[in-house]
Structure 1
Amino acid sequence: MSHNLNDTNTLTDHAKAVADYLASDHWNGFLKDLEGDVWHSHIYADTCIHPDSLNTVIEAYFAKRGQPLLRRIDYLTPSATSKVAALHNLHPDGLPHFDLFFRFKAGCALAPMAPERAQDGRNILHWGKAVLDDFHQQFPFKIVGVKEEEEIRRYFKSRHWKDTLNMIMDPDIIHLHCNLVINFDPKILELLAREALAAQGWTIDKVVPNIFNVHGTYKGKLVFLGTHPERVYDIGWEFAPDTLIAPADKPWSRNDVPIGFDLCFTSEFDRLIASQDFVTLSDEEIQSIIRTFG
């Protein structure tokens, strides 16, 4: 999306920098990539603009493109000590969902984060079918027969699963990973998880298979984009040839939450934002940015 050049002369410095970024090659190249073999993406930026202001601008940006966001934007930070936060689960109509990770940088309204300060030395990452096929092919998944299916179904009546559901609804937990060890194709896990969720009346927009880095080792996950309740929650999985299904028995991403889970807390995000001098754009600044969207 290009600038409306007639409006750029009326922008404050902060507003102009935000508008310039949304017209930049970094942002527009990222959006173009989403039209390819992409199921989920991360993009990394530096900013001094408050996430509430960014949220409003981005909602308007995609509405102007004719791709309104299909879900609310969540706010999260990965841990209590992280300096990175995210506008989590941006889901424009017709595109895969993505996360905009940001780090506070004084005097920088919005700009690409230096790759070495982002993830895996890159400030844009994409995952799609080719990546997932390559990841899955390394595992000799076991065949699931009648007895195995019964045992998997028993997991979805377990205390660990009930704890998962309760944590999803915890008002301070904005995002959750339920961490499992399995030895069968995660597509079966998805099908039986869908069945368990449907049995209690929960509905889902879609489930997105993905991978994620845990201290240098990639693990699998299923990302559930819930409709009711409107929450995003993941089932993480690690392959172990002799374990049909069990909760993880050691910490994964975090060692300060119950074993078998990774959790993101709204209170941690709020503390991170409050600790930095983020700038809230005025209503007029936001409207001046929106007027530049061609």
Structure 2
Amino acid sequence: MTKPRAAGRTVGGLRPLMLQAPAVTLLLLWMVVPLGMTVWFSLQRYNLLMPGMTGFAGLENYEYLFTDPALWSAMGTTLLMVGWILVITVVGGTLLAVLFQQEFFGRGIARVLVISPFFVMPTVSALVWKNMMMHPANGVLAWLAQLFGMQPVDWFSSLPLTSIIMIVSWEWLPFALLILLTAMQSLDEDQVEAARMDGAGPLSIFFFITLPHLKRAISVVVMIEMIFLLTIFAEIFVTTSGGPGLATTNLAYLIYIQALLDFDVGMASAGGVVAIILANIVAIFLVRMVAKNLEE
């Protein structure tokens, strides 16, 4: 006697596939259509200031882009900016996570206050730092410099890239702290106490117990931050506008200049394709790093 088939099932999982098809199709369209249009425009002569000059350009936009010194300057600035911000946020977040794991009066309020900057919009953060913190005449840092008898610094003229790194690090440090502090909660206190009883000092406990425990969380922080930091724009737009010269022009801001200041859609699209390739290379590397850490 043939056993009756379970209700709602079909051979080969056809029904689950049909249920997933609309969501998968929408996701593919959401990804493929913008990417396809970007690649298409990157192969066209399409400048809004010269509507009569159109047609297929082939790799002409890419050839011009890769021979433009501004591209290599922007890519170098992007990597330098991302690298320093990652160092500051990961190191600072790790140290703050260890600090806030300790018991002290007002710890709950201090945790809320230190995490708050992450929820401030980038444009607002940039405006606060530009007008209230780094202003050469009325800023808090200028007041502190005068208080100690030093000359105030015009941050965005003298140290533009350092200024952007400071602002973005201030925004992302709470995120690193939040992830690492959460990971600290699962640290085995018995293991730490046993190490103390064996004579291990605070530095030994940090380097041989705490840091290995946080390795996976640090990998996740680096992966998520790297993806978002490649697209820093608002802070640069509000404070330095990519200057002086190209000192703070990263890849995202260079694409903005090509698209909305020079009105060269073809060139901007070629820059967008380069940015996509760079982001995917970084993402592949980071995903493999995180997967390796999770397997250990």
TM-score over 0.5 for the alignment?
no
Bigger radius of gyration among the two: 2
More strand by share: 1
Which band: TM-score by shorter chain? under 0.3
TM-score after normalising by structure 2: 0.24
